[in-house]
Structure 1
Amino acid sequence: MQSDNRIFDDFAKIVNGFAGTVAGMGREAESSARTRAREWIGGLDFVSREEFEAVKAMAVAARDEAEALRARLDALEAGQDTIAGTQKDVASKPETTAEAAAPEIIL
């Protein structure tokens, strides 16, 4: 009877050892697959999430700055149009001969 228990005990030890070996092989395969995937992705010039977020923030800041500069340019152009319009009005105003001949007197 004792010999039967010993066979079962040895069999249980072998099965437990095999399960541990299979689990170790699984961890090793996963690690190897992760390493190969990282090497493959690294070769495709992908960027990390941190790098992507940093560049995204820079693009948003650049877009905001461009919009601010566009608004400033529009305001400056509107001011020049007003000045140019005033100058055109003065230039297009017909002068009479009496006004042209008479000097302006400032008191």
Structure 2
Amino acid sequence: MSQSNRIFDDLGRLMNEAAGVADGVRREVETVVKAQAQRIVNDMELVKREDFDALRELVQVQGEEIDALRKEIAALRGDKPAT
């Protein structure tokens, strides 16, 4: 009976060690994949979302300013306002 318990104890310990090793391998693979993905993204020279949003807002404001200046120029020239 004690021999049987010892076998099961050894088997349980072996399975726990295997699970620990598998978890370590999983973490290592995740680290490598994340590093590779980050390298690919950096190589693509993608713009950050914050930079894109800031530039979009700036372009929108400038577009509104251009429209206002066009209307002002048209008024000074006496042109009919464009619709």
Per the normalisation by structure 1, the TM-score is 0.64
Task: Report the Cα distance in structure 1 between the residues aligned to 2:72 and 2:27, rounded to whole angstroms.
Answer: 60
> 2-side partners of 1:28 and 1:48: how far apart?
27
Instruction: Give 5+ residue unaligned stretches, structure 1.
Output: 82-107
Q: Whole-Å Cα distance in 1 between the matches of residues 59 and 21 of structure 2?
A: 51
- Which shows bigger deviation, 68-77 or 5-14? 68-77
Shift of 1:24: 2.0
Q: Which has the higher contact order (CA 8 A, sep 6+)?
A: 2
Identity %: 34
1:34 partner letter: K
TM-score, length of structure 2 as denominator length: 0.80
1:54 equivalent in structure 2: 54
Query: Which aligned pairs between 1:1-107 and structure 2 lie closer than 5 A?
Result: 1-78=1-78
Deviation of 1:27 (Å): 1.9
Unmatched tracts of structure 2, length 5 or more: none
Give the root-mean-square deviation of aligned CA atoms: 1.5
Runs of 4+ in 1 over 4 A off after TM superposition: none
Highest CA radius of gyration, 1 or 2? 1
- Which residue identity is paired with 1:71? K
Shift of residue 4, structure 1, vs aligned partner: 0.9
The number of aligned residues is 79
